[in-house]
Amino acid sequence: MSQSDSLVEEVIERNPQEKHLSDYRPSDYTISTIDLEFDLFDSQTKVKAVSQVKRVNTEVTPLFLFGESLTLISILVDGVAYSDYQLVEDGIVINQLPASFTLEINTEIDPVANQAFEGLYKSGDAFCTQCEAEGFRRITYYLDRPDILAKFSTKVIADKALYPYLLSNGNQVDQGDLENGRHFVSWVDPFPKPAYLFALVAGDFDCLEDNFVTKSGRDVKLALFVDKGNLDKTQHAMVSLKKSMQWDEQRFNLEYDLDIYMIVAVDFFNMGAMENKGLNVFNSKFVLANSQSATDQDYLGIEAVIGHEYFHNWTGNRITCRDWFQLSLKEGLTVFRDQEFSSDLGSRSVNRIANVMTMRDHQFAEDAGPMSHPIRPESVMEMNNFYTLTVYEKGSEVIRMMHTLLGEEKFQQGMQLYVQRFDGQAVTCDDFVAAMQDASGIDLSLFKRWYSQSGTPHVYVTDHYNSSNQTYQITFKQKTLPTADQKKKLPLHIPVDIELLDSNGNAIELLPGKTNRVLSLTHTEQTFVFKNVLTKPVPCLFRGFSAPVKYQYAYSDEQLLDIMSFASDEFSRWDAGQTLFNKYLVKNVKALQNVEMLSLPEIFIDGFKSVLVSEDLDPSLVADMFAFTSENGARELFDVVDIDAIHTARDFMLQEIATQLHELFVDTYLHHNELKAYQPDIEDIAKRKLKNSALAFIARVDKKLANEYVLAQIDACNNMTDYLGALNAANSGLLDCRASVMQAFDDKWFETGLVMDKWFALQASMPSDNVLQNIEALFNHRSFDFSNPNRLRSLVGAFAQNNTYRFHNIDGSGYAFLTDQLIKLNSQNPQVASRLITPLIQFKRLDEKRVELIKVQLNRLLALPNLAVDLYEKVTKALVQ
């Protein structure tokens, strides 16, 4: 059998198979340049791709190029028609090629029919692309892998009246008019990049222009493109972009490198945004904002995502991944950078709390579920399934631990060395760690296990105080439980940031001039001794969430209250409050299971009362102190999850807090209920956040008063945050006004999809037994579009992910409902389906009846004759857990 036939046979085998990191091999061919020409039509777009290709070995091997949903027109090698090739399901095999040559491939594609929103597709009236991870193969046959870096030039041709803006990567070099009302624009990107960073957009937009002068004096043009009529919602995004550019220069000494930076907002987009070189394509959710249509959280989210994609210019674009198993190289690092950006511009403690809530509520569950994987996975079936909280959020925590161990100065030295070594290359996570180690002189060889080991470590803490010699001894034991992908676990290098409080609540000096110290836990069991400790201290453990672990220490209620009152780290104060709440949640769940009375002690209520009346705490932090562990997050507290008991116990506790602190909640609400011109600044955001938190608690106890407050707030408010805060109270409290205020909101905003997403999410989270029937009826709502990922996430996703008790209804209706939607999405948009399925596959610790009900639905999916690989991977792994 010839080498060519062998390759064809290998590619034809289409049973879903895992790809392994260990199988990585450099390509036999490289591509130095690719010149693209697009002649855009709705259903018959012509793509001409001319590449300079070189074989890197002496043996004549076939060239395999990836391709999907393409119509091949012709292939030319060095300008001559070529026929020695075979089309296979995943692409094309070209045989008997010279050592270096010019390859021209002409294809035709159908953007309108592309409902997967990968490659080139239509979003409304505009053409746009999404090529990460493997979308470029839907545009032309190509070496679509991240370690093939080429210089791209792009010529875009289209109808001038319909598509006056023709955009692509790099700098614009030419434009002109053509026959039949068509025109062209040519772009050249001077920096080599992988195909996943390619972008093209063609449409008729409103455009906000500005400029930014870099620290070296270069004048960069900034352009933000949005659908017609949305220009008034772009100013915040532009301000956020300029802040991002300035911050990256100041904090990381990284400067922008092209003449223009463009952002385009589109409505139909599977992701949040995409960092394509010089031309970022964004989900409009993360661009459009004004006070009437966007909440404070929208403003903050836009700032963070704009920053994230801009920061990718260096950590992702100029230096990219060798292979997709290294995805956290760019994403974990860039999430860390955007978190630091948000913290430097806003409240560090509030941002940290939000990040940790995501970890505890969702990433820990991913670690314990069937899709458990390290931040650098070892295997995968579908590359889109790599885009996980583990790779992004836990990946960021791993970078943060390095920052904690090295300190800011040495970390920045490591970043500079990383950039110097690898600019213009596709590299690995090991390369990044090596740069950090070499620049700092700190041994990170044990620390690297975080990249290859999955699961959430458990740290068990005990202590002993010796009053005779005034020494305090604290012992840590670490253990990581077996996960679906790994049975054997090794000790990790865990940084433990610790503070000790004395009997008066004062922090004890642990290092000269410092009251905190970072301990390096590197063994299965390790003891640290502190001398000259005059009284038994209260330990504040894992300050700032210094490691993504679960830890257990037998805190008394009094110790937790001391930390809530006196810890210098605001995160530790919040964490102590969460620990206190969780402690009694576990007790009350056990009480329910033993048919005993539910209760909350007076010391618990007094502790949170002191938080509510504090004049020293940031109002946003106070609000966070009352944003207790969600029902999803609470599942991580139990080895066996009792859905009904968790819901009942948690609801009881929230009701008790609302009842016993009712007057204080009313006072808090009235104190912060001031009407002034809307500003999304830190101080005003904090006040609105606390006010609306208080309103939700009032709605639990005094329905009549809450009803009055809700109607008055809606009538007087001048911003979406307060409008939505009132709607949330009406919805969660099932107030009498709920139906009328929800209808009024619908009538006002039904033509604005992004605003209606908030309304759909409220409908999906309604704490009512008939919520599912309501959701099904909303599929026929005038504002709902099943093909729009944002609408799906806001209605279907919000129900399955956030309305935990009703999604897990013991009759199985929630499971059947979600499966029905996944079946519809399987052939239309499997990438969105793969994200929505998560609550259905994390069932391992549920009761036997629910497990069986879920398995019935998963087997429905498995029985589909055309089940997409995205879903196949998750379903099969779930069924064998």
Question: Helix axis angle, 643-660 relative to 682-701, nearest 10°?
Answer: 100
The size of the chain, in residues, is 881
Same domain, 393 and 537: no
Tens digit of each residue's pLDDT (9 = 90 or more) over 365-392? 999 999 999 999 999 999 999 899 999 9
| 241 assigned to some structural domain | no
Same domain, 427 and 509: no
Element (H, E) at 65: strand 63-66
Question: What tokens appear for 777 in the block?
Answer: 């009826």
Q: Measure the CA–CA gap between 302 and 226, rounded to whole angstroms.
A: 14
Boundary-marking domain end, from 452, 483, 518: 452
CATH number at residue 329: 1.10.390.10
Q: Measure the CA–CA gap between 331 and 316, rounded to whole angstroms.
A: 8
Boundary-marking domain end, from 163, 181, 204: 204
| 695 assigned to some structural domain | no
DSSP string, 760-792: HHHHHH--STTHHHHHHHHTTSTT--TT-HHHH
| 370 assigned to some structural domain | yes
- Kindly tell me the sign of the dihedral angle through the C-alpha atoms of 797, 801, 803, 807: positive
Residue span of the structural domain in which 511 resides: 457-554
Maximum C-alpha span of the chain: 95
DSSP 115: T
Mean per-residue pLDDT for 53-77? 97
For residue 271, give the 3-state DSSP assignment. coil
Same domain, 84 and 192: yes
Same domain, 395 and 484: no
Question: What tokens appear for 262 in the block?
Answer: 């463009």
Q: What pLDDT shows up at residue 15? A: 63
| 288 assigned to some structural domain | no
Mean per-residue pLDDT for 271-275? 95
| Cβ contacts of 18 within 8 Å, gap of 6 or more | 379, 380, 381
Tens digit of each residue's pLDDT (9 = 90 or more) over 424-458? 999 999 999 999 999 999 999 999 999 999 999 99
Question: What tokens appear for 107 in the block?
Answer: 């294809």
Same domain, 363 and 474: no
| 105 assigned to some structural domain | yes
Is 238 within 8 Å of 263 (Cβ atoms)? no
| 138 assigned to some structural domain | yes
| Cβ contacts of 550 within 8 Å, gap of 6 or more | 364, 456, 457, 458, 459, 636
Mean per-residue pLDDT for 525-534? 97
Q: What pLDDT shows up at residue 677? A: 94
How many other CB atoms are there within 10 angstroms of residue 639's CB atom? 5
Same domain, 27 and 174: yes
Which segments of 683-748 are extended strands (E)?
Answer: none
Same domain, 440 and 474: no
Same domain, 375 and 507: no
| 880 assigned to some structural domain | no
Question: Across the beta sheet with 119-123, what order do the strands follow?
Answer: 119-123, 126-130, 200-203, 165-168
Q: Is the pLDDT of residue 103 over 60?
A: yes
**Range list of H helices, 441-538:** 449-452
Same domain, 441 and 466: no
| 404 assigned to some structural domain | yes
Q: Measure the CA–CA gap between 587 and 416, rounded to whole angstroms.
A: 50
Tens digit of each residue's pLDDT (9 = 90 or more) over 133-152? 999 999 999 999 999 999 99
Q: What pLDDT shows up at residue 170? A: 98
Is 811 within 8 Å of 772 (Cβ atoms)? no
Q: Which of 260, 264, 262, 263 is nearest to 220 (CA)?
A: 260
DSSP 193: B
Same domain, 54 and 148: yes
Q: What pLDDT shows up at residue 3? A: 54
Query: What do you get for the CA distance between the two ends of the chain, in Å?
Result: 40
Q: Is the pLDDT of residue 204 over 70?
A: yes
Mean per-residue pLDDT for 197-209? 98
CATH number at residue 135: 2.60.40.1730
Boundary-marking domain end, from 406, 426, 452: 452
What are the respective helix, strand and coil percentages of the chain, to the nearest 5?
A: 45, 20, 35
Q: Which of 49, 278, 4 is nearest to 144 (CA)?
A: 49
Same domain, 432 and 534: no
Tokens 């079936």 map to which residue? Answer: 381
Q: What pLDDT shows up at residue 10? A: 43
Percent of the chain residues topping a pLDDT of 70: 98
Q: What pLDDT shows up at residue 675? A: 82
Percent of the chain residues topping a pLDDT of 90: 97
Element (H, E) at 152: strand 151-159
Mean per-residue pLDDT for 160-164? 98
- Kindly tell me the sign of the dihedral angle through the C-alpha atoms of 418, 420, 422, 424: positive
Is 309 noted as a catalytic residue in this protein? yes
Quick one: 860 exposed, middle or buried, by C-beta within 10 A (0-12, 13-18, 19+)? middle
Pairing of strands 279-283, 260-266: parallel
Q: Measure the CA–CA gap between 343 and 322, rounded to whole angstroms.
A: 30
CATH number at residue 549: 2.60.40.1840
Q: Which of 846, 762, 761 is nearest to 809 (CA)?
A: 846
Q: Measure the CA–CA gap between 175 and 196, rounded to whole angstroms.
A: 25
Q: Which of 489, 488, 487 is nearest to 478 (CA)?
A: 489
Element (H, E) at 472: strand 471-480
- Kindly tell me the sign of the dihedral angle through the C-alpha atoms of 55, 57, 58, 60: negative
Question: Helix axis angle, 738-749 relative to 753-765, nearest 10°?
Answer: 160
Contacts 24+ apart (CB under 8 A), 711-718: 711/737, 711/741, 713/673, 714/741, 714/744, 716/675, 717/675, 718/291, 718/675, 718/677, 718/678
Counting the structural domains of the chain, the total is 3
Is 542 within 8 Å of 551 (Cβ atoms)? yes
Q: Measure the CA–CA gap between 422 and 417, rounded to whole angstroms.
A: 8
Instruction: Band the pLDDT of 8: cuts 50, 70, 90.
Output: very low
Same domain, 7 and 152: yes
Tokens 């490659």 map to which residue? Answer: 119
Per-residue 3-state assignment (H helix, E strand, C coil) for 803-836: CHHHHCCCCCHHHHHHHHHHHHHHHHCHHHHHHH
Which of 104, 132, 309, 873 is catalytic? The answer is 309
Question: What tokens appear for 41 in the block?
Answer: 């039509």
Instruction: Band the pLDDT of 13: cuts 50, 70, 90.
Output: very low
Tens digit of each residue's pLDDT (9 = 90 or more) over 723-749? 999 999 999 999 999 999 999 999 999
